[in-house]
Amino acid sequence: MLNLYIKTGCPYCLRVLEANETIKAPLVLRNISENPQLREELIEKGGKAQAPYLEDTDRGVSMYESLDIIEYLKVNYGNGETVEIKTVGNVCPID
């Protein structure tokens, strides 16, 4: 299962979601903005309150950083298509 922890309005999360429109990985979105318990779950799993955070339970892999997540999804779940990656110029505070 591919769990992607995201935050509403986060440009880095949006970058991953837009790239995944091409990759088409079967992501289960876990929005910490909509559910405070998911924020606590994210901190427990990853050690910090930062989004996006990918957890691939089938492969035992987890990571932060949007570009790393996109590359991982592209290599492991992609269909070989070129993935457009948007430039992000602002930050996404969790709190």
Inter-axis angle of helices 66-77 and 11-23, to 10 degrees? 10
Identify how many contiguous H helices and E strands the chain contains and give both numbers. 3, 4
3-class DSSP state for residue 9? coil
The whole-angstrom separation of Cα 18 and Cα 12 is: 10
Chain centre to alpha carbon of residue 5: 6
pLDDT of residue 52: 97
Segment-wise mean pLDDT, segments of 10 residues, the chain, 95 residues: 96 96 97 95 95 97 97 94 79 56
pLDDT of residue 74: 96
Q: Which amino acid is at 16?
A: V
Q: Which residue has 């089938």 as its token pair?
A: 58
Domains of the chain listed by start with CATH number: 2-77 (3.40.30.10)
The whole-angstrom separation of Cα 36 and Cα 61 is: 23
